[in-house]
Amino acid sequence: MCQSEKPHGPELQAAAKWLHFPQLALRRRLGQLSCMSRPALKLRSWPLTILYYLLPFGALRPLSRVGWRPVSRVALYKSVPTRLLSRAWGRLNQVELPYWLRRPVYSLYIWTFGVNMTEAAVEDLHHYRNLSEFFRRKLKPQARPVCGLHSVISPSDGKILTFGQVKNCEVEQVKGVTYSLESFLGPRTCTEDLSFPPASSRDSFRNQLVTREGNELYHCVIYLAPGDYHCFHSPTDWTVSHRRHFPGSLMSVNPGMARWIKELFCHNERVVLSGDWKHGFFSLTAVGATNVGSIRIYFDRDLHTNSPRYSKGSYNDLSFVTHANKEGVPMRKGEHLGEFNLGSTIVLIFEAPKDFNFRLKAGQKIRFGEALGSL
């Protein structure tokens, strides 16, 4: 049998050059990409990144040998126009459904998310003209009795993600993942409390919030799933003196995403209501999410969320303390406070004596009106 001849000399060099041509071409192309502006570079690298994560493992690994690196999953997710999608979803929610289509559409939603319509003030599905009315449905008065024995109740239906004492001015969004309290609430202003200077450190910011000696700061995070009751109520007797609106992203706030994206609640659009209760500082923050660009506070007609344009890191302040009303807006425990258009998150941050005890377990389901904790 004759043996195949091995290439040598010029033939071997030509073969090697042909084999290295793809890598040389890729290096040249990546060199051109590196000269582009950052927005253009992101635009050209995203298709490869999407393929990198979608294709079977390792399919595009050879690209790493020529210097290409995929955009991180977090950066890729943050690039999704969630605000635009949420506005589109809001428009869709307002479209009136034909009478014959209401029952099948709402029944599918009820089956998917486990909605209990026996608690609704109006159980007839034909009553709700559009998805928005269905999401914001009211409950029967006896469906959520308000606990009178405990000082703080759950402001909404949902799932308890985290709770406890605030330590080192950091708050848990899920177990093991924290965010800065000052980044979340924003700096204290003279309109909120004239007796405190601007914060210069974590301890000084905490000292601005804790107004009474011997008290501590506590927090509780409640996640509202799409099938939950979407209105939220006052968790205690308190007075709302200030509102701060942070325009921002509208990323999903489900627990899985909260573990994935650090300081998620600080990136997302949110409305911070702050004031005082009998033990000092008290705040309730409604955090927006994907398809939940609309956050409504019943007594605040000036609040407009999910605007088309905003400056990153900006916020808008409104004081409810005026010459005519020197106390603010008094809220009774259990009183209607606001609503979401879909599921989202409520964060309570408040001051209380050291013997305050939560009556909760992480991960438990809770309903509006049930006890969160007491002295």
Left if phi > 0, otherwise alpha if psi is -120 to 50, otherwise beta: which for 119?
alpha
Tell me which of 233, 245, 267, 279 is the catalytic residue. Answer: 233
- DSSP for 24-73, written as a single string: HHHHHHHHHHHTS-HHHHHHHHHHHHHHHHHSSTTTTGGGGGGT--PPPH
- DSSP for 225-272, written as a single string: PTTS--EEE-SSSEEEEEEEEE--B----SHHHHHHSTTHHHHB-EEE
Report, in angstroms and rounded to the nearest whole number, the Rg of the chain calculated over CA atoms.
27
Chain centroid to CA 34: 34
Respond yes or no: is residue 374 known to be catalytic.
no
Respond yes or no: is residue 233 known to be catalytic.
yes
Question: Regarding beta strands 336-340 and 231-233, do their DSSP bridges make them parallel or antiparallel, or are they unpaired?
Answer: antiparallel
Respond yes or no: is residue 344 known to be catalytic.
yes
Tell me which of 86, 132, 157, 241 is the catalytic residue. Answer: 157
Candidates 120, 112, 359, 360; CA nearest to 231 is 120
CA dist., res. 53 & res. 82, Å (int) = 20
Q: Are 209 and 171 in contact (CB under 8 A)?
A: no
Tell me which of 132, 252, 294, 344 is the catalytic residue. Answer: 344
- Give me the active site residues, please: 157, 233, 344
